[in-house]
Chains A and B, each alone.
Chain A
Amino acid sequence: MSGEPDSKAVAPKPPAPPAAFSPEDMARRNRRSVALALVLAGLVIFFFVVTLAKTGPAILNRPL
């Protein structure tokens, strides 16, 4: 992506990825999924609260 590859530093080779997920890897990925779920749940609450703040509490006062 860069036009001047010569100016780049020579980096050591990063660790190779595992051939398959070990049980520890799967546990890490599960924890990551749980964290992502919590973030998404937090976003739902965030948008709900911000919507109330933007529109005002009157949005709750409507005929059913």
Chain B
Amino acid sequence: MSAAFDQIDPRHDGAALPSTGEARDFFVLLKPRVMFLVIVTALGGLMVAPGSVNPIIGFASLLAIAVGAGASGCLNMWWDADIDAVMSRTVDRPIPAGRITPSEALAFGLTLSIGSVLVLGLVANLLAAAMLAFTIFFYAVVYSMWLKRSTPQNIVIGGAAGAFPPMIGEAVVTGDFGIRSLVLFAIIFLWTPPHFWALALVKSADYARAGIPMMPNVAGPAATRRQMILYSLLLAPVGVLPALMGFGGMIYLAVSAISGLLMVALTLRVLRVTEGEPATKAAYALFGFSILYLFLLFAVLLAEHGLGLMWALPVVIG
């Protein structure tokens, strides 16, 4: 874990009793909401992949991917316990709240990381397992330990970790990567900055207190808002690509076009409304809608491929 928290943690000398944290505290360490989004996006990659997979193997692979994502979240909470302790949004997490000791969280995260990669390698294939291992490494080490505290581009580059699951999903089916999962990767990658910076605008005092160089704290709110609209303007057309490339149908085209325009509209509102309570509301509206946007895109893809609702369009690209 990070040094500052290490120094002040009276339990870290091994002399104290183990924690009394319950099973749900360990579950919270896995960041269940992030895990849910990873399951949806990995399933998206799995469903749009050319080919098919035994449903039991597919389910087991998804479980391994979800646990791997949870493990990286756990390692992130272990490393960032000092930051979590000074931020209102995270102060009640199991480690800063004292319900789970840092060493327990580290052991839990490492065990699940190794276990999930091994299981995915045995159940699916080595490429998928290697990809999962790289994703865990990227999130826990590259993002959490390096980028997060050193650059305002932290969530932009680190966003790749959240964008890998569709590629792992496709690798489970085909043993390879294709253009389809790359497009899904691009959607999540471009979605990350407007999503996170909307929250960072509202919580900039929290991030400043924790010493995290988020974009609003380093470049200022105005520059952050300008970058957010750039990403949203890129995201909206890329979000429609699955329909134009033949692996999203008519429903996907309609949903992605309308929700993409809404993403742009809500980001424009964040750009225009910059003062007081209305600015906070605009940022929260974008943050909330961005989660719905990503969920909608993948849910529609899943419905089209899984429930036979795929009315394909002529392939425009690909």
Q: Which residues of A contact B (CB under 8 A)?
A: 1-2, 5, 7-21, 25, 28-29, 31-32, 35-36, 46, 49-50, 52-54
Would you call B85 and A31 a contact (CB within 8 A)? no
Q: How many residues of B contact A (CB 8 A)?
A: 41
Would you call A1 and B6 a contact (CB within 8 A)? yes
Would you call A1 and B3 a contact (CB within 8 A)? yes
Would you call A13 and B8 a contact (CB within 8 A)? yes
Q: Which residues of B contact A (CB under 8 A)?
A: 1-11, 16-17, 19-23, 26, 54, 56-57, 60, 63, 81-83, 85-86, 95-98, 101, 123, 145, 149, 209-212
Would you call A8 and B57 a contact (CB within 8 A)? no
| Chain A: minimal CB distance from B283 (Å) | 23
Docked Cα-Cα span, A46 to B21, in Å, equals 26
| Chain B: minimal CB distance from A21 (Å) | 7
Q: Which of A8, A13, A54: most chain B Cβ within 10 A? A: A8
Write out the residue numbers on chain B whose beta carbons fall within 8 Å of the beta carbon of A50.
56-57, 60, 123
| Chain B: minimal CB distance from A3 (Å) | 9
| Chain B: minimal CB distance from A22 (Å) | 9
Q: List 20 A-B contacts (CB under 8 A).
A: A2-B3, A8-B3, A8-B4, A8-B82, A8-B149, A9-B82, A9-B209, A11-B5, A13-B8, A14-B97, A15-B97, A16-B98, A18-B17, A21-B20, A25-B20, A46-B60, A46-B63, A52-B56, A53-B54, A53-B60
Q: Which of B2, B209, B210: most chain A Cβ within 10 A? A: B2
Would you call B211 and A9 a contact (CB within 8 A)? yes
Docked Cα-Cα span, A55 to B60, in Å, equals 15
Docked Cα-Cα span, A25 to B5, in Å, equals 24
- Nearest opposing residue in chain A for B15, CB measure: A17
Docked Cα-Cα span, A52 to B81, in Å, equals 42
